[in-house]
Amino acid sequence: MTRFFVSPDVVNGKFAVLTGENATHAKVLRLKEGDMVVLCCGDGQDYNCTISHVAQGQIGLVVQETLPSHTEPSVRCQVFMAFPKADKLEHVIQKATELGADEIIAFPSQRCVSRPDSKSLGKKLERWQKIAASAAEQSGRGQIPTVRALESFREAVKLASQAENPVLLYENEENYSLKNALEDTPCKTVSLMTGPEGGFTTEEIQIAKEAGLKICTLGPRILRCETAPLCALTAVMFFYGELD
């Protein structure tokens, strides 16, 4: 069924109304009275609805049943990615949303080539959030991941360290793997931190260690900055049985 993300106030008991972009999208799809759609308010619930009427600028719905969203992962995973060049972050946001990320967080690090200024960052965040929303609809997610940006590496480390299992992926680590980290700490929250094109500096690795992050390898091959977070996120979802 077609899925629409709406604000919580759209669902009023047994009734709901689609307006704006959602109503336009419904008409483009040629949905009609009697068709079934799913509404998501980002609360982990799916509202299965029947279209009751189609009018100019709005679509009326009747809520038939409310069920827990079965597409949301059992593990909450935050993806921290240092600002990359070009539009690589857009690709990661889209794919990380499809894979089940709970939140995608961009941050600056010492070797970042791209550092959006405050003027452009607002527009970028708006675009990034729309990419996440579109990917969530396409992949049948029960919620839209939050996309945000932090001002410093230390701020990112501090936030990442609040997860039960905080991990930083580092190409120069040789012994401790992501698998080791996941097996050592059964949990419900994981944070994954990856670096820019030039990787993290030894100073940054030391800061992360002191904050309690686990420094892990993703294997003997060096992955591109846009590949590493998606590889790590996929590994986490596989470990927790979310790809079964």
The pLDDT tens digits along the chain (244 residues) read 899 999 888 998 999 999 999 999 999 999 999 999 999 987 778 999 999 999 999 999 999 999 988 899 999 999 999 999 999 999 999 999 999 999 999 999 999 998 888 889 999 999 999 999 999 989 989 999 999 999 999 999 999 999 999 999 999 999 999 999 999 999 999 999 999 999 999 999 999 999 999 999 999 999 999 999 999 999 999 999 999 9
Residue 41: the pLDDT is 87
Q: Is 108:85 a contact under the CB 8 Å cutoff?
A: no
The CATH number of the domain covering residues in 76-239: 3.40.1280.10
Residue with tokens 């939050």: 146
pTM to 2 decimal places: 0.89
Residue 69: the pLDDT is 87
Which residue ranges does the chain devote to CATH 2.40.240.20?
2-68
Name the residue type at position 138: Q
Phi, psi for residue 79 in degrees, rounded to 5: -110, 115
Residue 118: the pLDDT is 83
Which residue ranges does the chain devote to CATH 3.40.1280.10?
76-239
62/17 Cα distance (integer angstroms): 9
Q: Is 38:3 a contact under the CB 8 Å cutoff?
A: yes
The CATH number of the domain covering residues in 2-68: 2.40.240.20
pLDDT digits (tens, 9 = 90+) for 202-222: 999 999 999 999 999 999 999
Angle at 155 between CA 152 and CA 158, to 5 degrees: 150
